[in-house]
Structure formats: C-alpha cells, structure tokens
A = this chain, B = another copy of it.
C-alpha cells in the first residue's frame, strides 16, 4: 500500500524530516508506506525483525514488554508526530518490545535503506537522528530514575506535572487529560491499576486534584509539586 504522494506531505511535517530538500524527501517517500491500523492491532511483537521504523501520523500506539505469562508493562505511549523503532533498526536486531495500536491510527513505515542512504548524504539528517536518539535515551534514564528512586505517589505527581508543563497555567488550576485508559497509564508508571486508583483518590482526598474519568484537574500546581517529601 505505497502512496508516495500522500506520504510525502506527511513526512514533510514530521520533525525528523523537516527542512529536508525536496529531492531528499522524495527519496525517503519512495521507501515509505502508509499503514492503517485499527484499535488493538499489533504492529510487531518482540522478536520480530525490524525492517524500518514507524511514525505516528494520527492515532496512538503503545510499546510494552509482554511476559510469557501474558502480563505486560507499558514502556511508552506515543501520539502524532512521534516515532519509534529506530534504535533497533540501526542495530539490525529484532524488536525488544511489542507495539500495539490503542485507537484507530495512521502510521508511516520508513524502510531501513532509505534512512541509511540519507545518513550518508545529509549530515544534518544524521544530526537530527542523533538528537532524537539522545532525547529518547535521556527520557529513558528519567524513567529508570523514577522507577528506582521514587514512590508510586511521586511518579504520578511527576507524570501529571510533566504532562501539563507546557500547557497554560490558568490560575484556576490546570486540566490534564490522561492519554489512555487508567490501566495503560498505570502500567506506564509501573503501578497496578488498583494502586494507581488508590493513589489518585488519596491525592483527591487531600484536595490536590480532582478526577473525573480521564481528566485530572490540578488545583494548585505548586502545591502538588511540593508534596509528600
């Protein structure tokens, strides 16, 4: 299902490919295919070969470890503009996580060859790629720190604060909407759904937040930030 024309215009808006010359974009587009995936579809499993990497155009994808026993731990929840699978593609290794689509989505799949070729040609592209990997690495270290040095409550607070950081600091508080079901977010934070639920209610009981379905209202950002110690 290759559709170079459409893919091209999407590509042009992905951070990674912005400012590429038209001919470069054409070459990339030639190796790119659109992937429509309905909710709950699995894009790849751990162990599958990585022939390229994915970009989310619209929709939502989760990356997760899945144990032999079926229980899973969500590594990340990805939305429009975000990409995944690059690292594993560069190493020419099988995927280490499983990617599952959370809501009906459109993705682009860029083949390895296109990226490798472009790296040879355009140092700016290489820089962009390096920047992307570095950012990922940085975020991952942040998660590692959170998981090993902070309590569940602290992780949730951190997550809420992070999720709302660029948003308008209205003085009536801030509204944060969880990107996925509570179960998925809980797992992303390395918590069980039950524990997540309890902590949310505890924070609500202390007047720090209000929860209505997936939307969390933070009454006072600073008070939430300076909580618990």
Contact = CB atoms under 8 A, between A and B. Distances in A.
Interface of A: 65, 67, 73, 75, 86-88, 90-91, 93, 96-97, 119-121, 123, 126-127, 129-131, 133-138, 140-145, 147-149, 190
A138 B136 CA distance: 11
A138 B96 contact: yes
Contacts of A97: 141
A54 to B, nearest CB: 16
Q: Is the interface of A mostly helix, strand, loop or mixed?
A: helix
Copies of this chain, count: 2
Given A67-B149, A91-B131, A96 B126 contact: no
Given A96-B138, A136-B137, A148-B65, A90 B143 contact: no
7 contacts: A73-B145, A87-B134, A90-B131, A91-B135, A96-B142, A136-B137, A143-B144
Contact of A149 (B65, B130, B143): B65
A140 B140 contact: yes
